[in-house]
Structure 1
Amino acid sequence: MKKSKKIVIAILTVTFMVSMFCVTAYAAGSGDVAGAVQGTWKTAFQQIKTVVNNVVFPVIDLILAVFLFAKLGTAYFDYRKHGQFEWAAPAILFACLVFTLTAPLYIWSIVGM
């Protein structure tokens, strides 16, 4: 009984806090919600594009480069141990690295922005 009472109180508290801190968004003037969303998107798009091009893609490139060189190292040590070089994983990582390095040049035209 005590546990269910605590759960009900927690749910009521969360519901109360959500209702207190939510803000109602109204479309300006005519009530055109789609126009308000499109206007907001148009102003935020350049900032999103800048962040993705200058932060997201370089971080992904760095991670892929580290994985590529680590995989090349482990593949070399496997080659020294077994006499056979495994090309699949380094080739896939290299292809992904090339894709993400060149992605900012064409990704926005594919997305339609």
Structure 2
Amino acid sequence: MIRVLKDKRIKVLFVMIFLLLMFVIFMKPCYAAGDVSGAIESAWGSAKGQIKSVVNNVVFPVIDLVLAVFFFVKLGTAYFDYRKQGQFEWTAPAILFACLCFTLTAPNYIWTIL
């Protein structure tokens, strides 16, 4: 038995089995008291207007600004790489442009999804 435990993989396996066994032995189910989904729905209903206005007027414009800056910086670096190497790489500017278009139009449809 001592000889078998000298292998590091066997030791790790025994430790993992021991930990799993301890988790199973000491595991205790936990239940929520009351109607949790009703509480969440009522909290969403009362804060919905404020959340919408903050997200539409603050969050989306900040994301749009960051993506626009990244897009134009990447477009400039791609142009300078084109002048240097003679090949224009479209992948990164195209992905940033698609993300920018998605976030610019997101306030129009995101609330119907949620």
State the TM-score, normalized to the length of structure 1: 0.66
Change in 2 beyond 3 A, CA 1:33/1:78? closer
1:46 and 2:73 are equivalent in the alignment: no
Q: Give the 3-state SS of the residue equivalent to 1:51 in structure 2.
A: helix
1:73 maps to a residue whose letter is: G
**Structure 2: tracts of 5 or more residues without a match:** 1-33
Change in 2 beyond 3 A, CA 1:33/1:94? closer
Say which of 85, 107, 112 aligns to 2:110: 107
1:64 and 2:67 are equivalent in the alignment: yes
**Structure 1: tracts of 5 or more residues without a match:** 1-30
CA distance in 1, matches of 2:99, 2:48: 26
CA distance in 2, matches of 1:32, 1:82: 64
**How far 1:90 sits from its partner (Å)?**
0.3
> Deviation above 6 Å: which 4+ runs of structure 1?
none
**Equivalent residue, structure 2, for 1:95:** 98
Change in 2 beyond 3 A, CA 1:81/1:109? same
**Equivalent residue, structure 2, for 1:17:** none
**How far 1:40 sits from its partner (Å)?**
2.5
> Higher Cα Rg: structure 1 or 2?
2
**How far 1:99 sits from its partner (Å)?**
0.2
Q: CA RMSD in A?
A: 1.4
**How far 1:37 sits from its partner (Å)?**
3.7
Q: Which moved more, 1:31-40 or 1:60-69?
A: 31-40
Kindly provide the CA deviation profile for residues 27-54 of structure 1, in whole angstroms up to 9, marking residues without a partner as x: xxxx766544432221101100110000
2:49 maps to a residue whose letter is: Q
